[in-house]
Structure formats: C-alpha cells, structure tokens
Amino acid sequence: MKRTDLNYSFYYNTLFLLVSSGRCDLTTLSILATESYFTSSARRCYEYFGWSLLRMLNNPNSDNISIGFAQIKVSLWRRFGMFTSRNSILTCLMRFSSIYNNYDLCQRLVYSFSVESLDDVSLLQLYCGRLRHYYFQVYLNNKSFIASILDDVNKNKHNPMCNYLAKDQIIDVKNG
C-alpha cells in the first residue's frame, strides 16, 4: 500500500481531536481510522438516513445496521448504554455522528473482547466478523502511522495539544 492510500483527513482532523481529548488508545484509533478509510462521509449520511427511516417505521431491522465512524451495529450501541429506545431520533443521530462517542464505544467493545490476550488478526475477526486481507493491511498501516504520531505526542509532552478543544463537544448519554 502506498502512503497516499492512507486517510489523511482522518489523521489531520479527527485524530487531533481525539488525542487532544485524551483518547489515545492505539488499537481503537487504528480501528476508527480503518473504518473511516472504508466508509465515506456520504455513505455514513446514507446509513443515518436509512436507520432513521427504519426507526420511524418501528422496523426491527434498524438494530442490525452498522453505523457511525466505528461502524458498530445499533444493537451494540444500545447494549453498551449509548442510547435507549426513549431517545429521539435526532438525539441518537447526534450520538452516532460524534467521533468521541464512536471512540468510547469502540474502545469498550474492543476491551470486551479481552484485547490484551488477542493478536491483531483475532481482534479484527471478532470486530468485523470476517477479516479481509486488504482490510487487515489498511489496519496495519494505520496502526503503524498512528503509533508514530502518538510517539511524537509523547515526546513533546512539554508542548501538549490543546486539551480544551474537545471537552465541550462530548455528548452526555444520560442528559443527551
């Protein structure tokens, strides 16, 4: 894979916001970067619209859609307490589209797999269901690139990223 294949929009915008808010788990960031590489913003909007329509129709298939930056099934968003059936569609869409909520849920899901005892292949098989070679290659390239960025951040602790940027943008699930 060429360096130009990496999703630089994710690195320069989203990664900065996540790291500046203290969300620095390498595995979680790598999964989000990989999912972002494969799922365009337009496709995510289409998913949000489709989910909204199914939810308005009370279709039980609405829980089977993978949604958000992390591409996690709606049923898992519900199981991990990120929303309830009492939340409005707008509230749910705000949560689904929040990179911070996606990071937090992805991290909780990954750690529910006992990530410490898993290699990357086993972890991604659990996360994706079926691991494809190209997905794995993109993940490894993202992981390597993000690790170098996190190393640079750790070396420059005396000049920290602006922690205040993301704190007010987190959507509180309980008060949402």
pLDDT for the residue 78 = 93
Burial of 60 from C-beta contacts in 10 A (0-12 / 13-18 / 19+): exposed
pLDDT for the residue 163 = 43
pLDDT for the residue 150 = 87
Average pLDDT (46-62) is 93
Q: How confident is the model at residue 85 (pLDDT cuts 50, 70, 90)?
A: confident
pLDDT for the residue 84 = 85
Residue range 128-141, pLDDT digits in tens: 888 899 999 999 99
Comparing 115 with 154, which gets the higher pLDDT? 154
What are the structure tokens assigned to 87, written together? 């939340």
Does the pLDDT of residue 167 top 50, yes or no? no
**87-111 residues labelled b (16+ CB within 10 A) or e (exposed):** beeeebbebbbbbbbbbbbbbebbe
Does the pLDDT of residue 104 top 70, yes or no? yes
Mean pLDDT of the residues in the chain:
82
pTM of the model: 0.81
What are the structure tokens assigned to 111, written together? 């750690």
Distance, in Å, from the CA atom of 110 to the CA atom of 93, rounded to the nearest integer, reads 22
Q: How far apart are the first and last CA of the chain?
A: 41
